[in-house]
């Protein structure tokens, strides 16, 4: 099965039928068995909306209404004018979006849980300067040149992180484990992190990687993964290359994997901050993410821009 989608005028396959079969965890049982496919779709806002200040959770009725409002607002291509026509042109085809439709069991109003106000802490002056420069570079006429961002080529980024966050679609993660390694495979962009659990040291500070270097350990029945050695070529919510990311995976029950992470980056934020969400066990398959395989959109975009 191949699904096609339109992105900025480019059509490409989102999913190709290359199935990765689940494996049995070696040496782990019970709550330490984290293997399987986990779905982290959610309509919980990353930061708490201003009209919900001071309200960390909603009651069931409020949560249902809030989730429906977000679903309706996002599904703009389902709207019709009085003549039954879609009153939009050039918009993204929302049919392909798969954001989820609920706030989850905790009914939280933000993914950010610390600071308690559900908002990201202030960025440092250095981080703001980096953001300004990054915005300047992204604002250039990339289609008329040879250099395009990794996100435009569907090579890096989106919801896979690290850290992982709900996004528009492909919110699936498959976790494989043995007694001394964990592998986290994200469907979106098809990235994998191979994480040793043997107590090996982190990489030397001069070695930088696109997704950082991860090392894992067990804290009781919680898997703790610390990642550092990020590159300055990437950024997450304003972070820099010295970001230290600590992720925690806890199996709450047979169908729920609680995912928490803390970002510590004194050069970029005035204080650490944390996110919490829940992943649901899925019986679905994870397919290869090959959005630009056989896609001629990039060539056509460059030709059109230069001939204009």
- Check residue 270 and report its DSSP letter: S
Close Cβ partners of 19 (under 8 Å, ≥ 6 residues apart):
285, 286, 287
Give me the residue spans of the domains in the chain. 3-40+122-307
Average confidence score pLDDT of the chain: 83
The per-residue pLDDT for range 45-60, each reduced to its tens digit, is: 999 999 999 999 999 9
What pLDDT, on the 0 to 100 scale, is given for residue 73?
77
The per-residue pLDDT for range 247-297, each reduced to its tens digit, is: 999 999 999 999 999 999 999 999 999 999 999 999 999 988 877 655 566
The per-residue pLDDT for range 216-248, each reduced to its tens digit, is: 999 999 999 999 999 998 889 999 999 999 999
What pLDDT, on the 0 to 100 scale, is given for residue 294?
52
Return phi, psi of residue 137, to 5°: -65, -40
Q: Is the distance from CB of 93 to CB of 168 less than 8 angstroms? A: no
Q: Return the higher-pLDDT residue of 132 and 24.
A: 132
Tell whether the model's pLDDT for residue 10 goes beyond 50: no
What pLDDT, on the 0 to 100 scale, is given for residue 137?
72
> Token pair of 300, please?
């056509």
Close Cβ partners of 296 (under 8 Å, ≥ 6 residues apart):
none
Q: What global pTM score does this model have?
A: 0.81
Q: 84: pLDDT confidence band, cut at 50, 70 and 90? A: confident
């Amino acid at each position: 099965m191949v699904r096609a989608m339109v992105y900025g005028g480019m059509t490409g396959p989102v999913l190709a039928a290359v199935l990765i079969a689940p494996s049995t965890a070696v040496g782990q049982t019970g709550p330490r068995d984290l293997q399987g496919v986990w779905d982290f779709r959610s309509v919980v806002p990353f930061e708490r909306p201003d009209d919900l200040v001071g309200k960390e959770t909603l009651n069931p009725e409020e949560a249902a209404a809030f989730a429906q409002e977000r679903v309706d607002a996002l599904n703009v291509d389902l709207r019709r004018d009085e003549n039954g026509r879609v009153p939009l042109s050039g918009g993204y085809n929302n049919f392909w979006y798969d954001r989820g439709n609920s706030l989850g069991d905790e009914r939280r109003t933000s993914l950010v849980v610390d600071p308690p106000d559900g908002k990201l802490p202030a960025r440092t002056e250095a981080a703001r300067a980096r953001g300004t420069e990054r915005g300047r570079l992204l604002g250039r006429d990339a289609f008329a040149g040879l250099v395009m961002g990794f996100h435009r080529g569907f090579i890096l980024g989106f919801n896979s992180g690290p850290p992982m966050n709900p996004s528009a679609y492909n919110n699936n993660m498959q976790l494989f484990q043995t007694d001394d390694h964990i592998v986290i495979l994200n469907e979106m962009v098809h990235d994998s992190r191979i994480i040793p659990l043997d107590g090996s040291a982190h990489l030397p500070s001069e070695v930088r990687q696109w997704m950082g270097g991860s090392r894992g350990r067990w804290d009781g029945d919680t898997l703790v993964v610390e990642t550092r050695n990020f590159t300055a070529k990437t950024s997450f919510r304003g972070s820099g290359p010295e970001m230290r990311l600590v992720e925690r995976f806890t199996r709450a029950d047979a169908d729920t994997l609680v995912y928490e992470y803390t970002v510590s980056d004194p050069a970029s934020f005035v204080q650490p901050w944390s996110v919490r969400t829940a992943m649901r066990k899925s019986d679905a398959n994870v397919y290869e993410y090959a959005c630009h395989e056989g896609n001629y959109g990039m060539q056509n975009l460059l030709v059109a821009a230069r001939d204009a």
